[in-house]
Amino acid sequence: MIEDKNQDRTTLDKLGEFGLIEHLTQHFSLQHKSSEKGIGDDAAVLDFKNKKTLVTTDLLVEGVHFDLSYMPLKHLGYKAVMVNLSDVYAMNATATHITVSIAVSNRFPLEALDELYEGIAFACTKHKVDLIGGDTTSSTTGLLISVTALGEANSANITYRTGAKPNDLLVVSGDLGGAYMGLQVLEREKEVFKVNPNSQPDLEPYSYIVERQLKPEARNDISGLLKVLGVSPTSMIDISDGLSSEILHLCKQSEVGCNLFEEKIPLDPTVISACEEFKIDSTMVALSGGEDYELLFTVDQKDFEKIKGNPNLSIIGHMTDASEGAHLITRGNTKIPITAQGWNSFKSE
């Protein structure tokens, strides 16, 4: 839902495709030496010298991945970049460049796209990445955003999903479940608004979890932290689809099993209180919620002392032999098989 701020609306047909691209990207500047040529030609030109190049892409579709009735366009632009940078950081690499393509209907004036690109620009500045290209086209089904992110890393530092070994420690950054509970709050307030458009929701008690949903932060700090600690992760993945799904990805790709301890899963107090309010099990939320964009990784047991007690990291389990399977060890010491219950965009209603 785009607010009418009683200001003039500039229709997109006044600019045309190339005029729109020039307008939206005029304030972006190049920050990397590897960016030989950015926007303005048939293709960007990058020179990474002797480093490996990483490429990842993600598509966000209105009505599937975001709801503009409560998602500010500036936040959406920021989040669209974050979900892609997170994949680069999950390879233990440095993000350097992005391309952004959008499809928009004529219900969006130029001013709305300016807001979207403000969020994109803020993400680029904060994470030191260059916008080097993209595309714009029309849409009859709402707003679509496709971001491609590129990164670089020395070959020895790239971390895949395939390197975990039995007895490796399972570690996660930050805390989990906040994005999912933030979504529950926003959806509830949306329904209240439908009934009473004059109601003003008080989101202050939920500010942390609402921000985790609307403006997630990709963890570009973890790679540097691990280097400082002298720790080399053996496998890594980001948590976009829920902890259970990501654990099973690591187990499958690395051909190992896992014991995850329920009592070790990091939960913010705001998440716990929101789960109590909504009568939802907090462990289920952490396992299946998704969109936290924290990093899940494994390290050799010898690195336990290096990461023990670090406020940014939580040791939540250990890897086992593949024959033992992947299990959740509950607070009551019951062993339950882990199943993938995370986000599936193709799941039928």
Least confident of 35-39, 66-70, 231-235: 35-39
Q: Is the pLDDT of residue 1 over 50?
A: no
pLDDT at 349: 47
Closest of 24, 32, 216 to residue 121, by C-alpha: 24
pLDDT in the model for residue 287? 96
Q: Which segment, 136-140, 153-157, 247-251, is predicted with the most confidence on average?
A: 247-251
pLDDT at 245: 94
Superfamily of domain 169-337: PurM-like C-terminal domain (3.90.650.10)
Number of neighbouring beta carbons within 10 Å of residue 29:
11
Q: For residue 57, what are the β-bridge partners?
A: 148
> Which residues make up the CATH 3.30.1330.10 domain(s) of the chain?
12-157
Q: Which pLDDT does position 293 carry in this prediction? A: 97
Query: Exposure pattern of 95-121 as b/e (b: 16+ CB <10 Å)?
Result: bbbbbbbbbbeeebbbebbebbbebbb
For 218-225, what is the mean pLDDT? 97
Segment 277-318, tens digit of pLDDT: 999 999 999 999 999 999 999 999 999 999 999 999 999 999
pLDDT tops 50 at residue 252 = yes
Task: List where CATH 3.90.650.10 sits in the chain.
Answer: 169-337
Rounded Cα–Cα distance for residues 349 and 343 (Å): 13
Yes or no: domain 12-157 corresponds to CATH 3.20.20.70? no
Residue 40: the pLDDT is 60
pLDDT (tens digit per residue) in 48-106: 778 888 888 899 999 999 999 999 999 999 999 999 999 999 999 999 999 999 999 98
Residue 137, sorted as left (phi over 0), alpha (psi -120 to 50) or beta, turns out to be: beta
131 or 201, greater pLDDT:
131
pTM of the model: 0.87
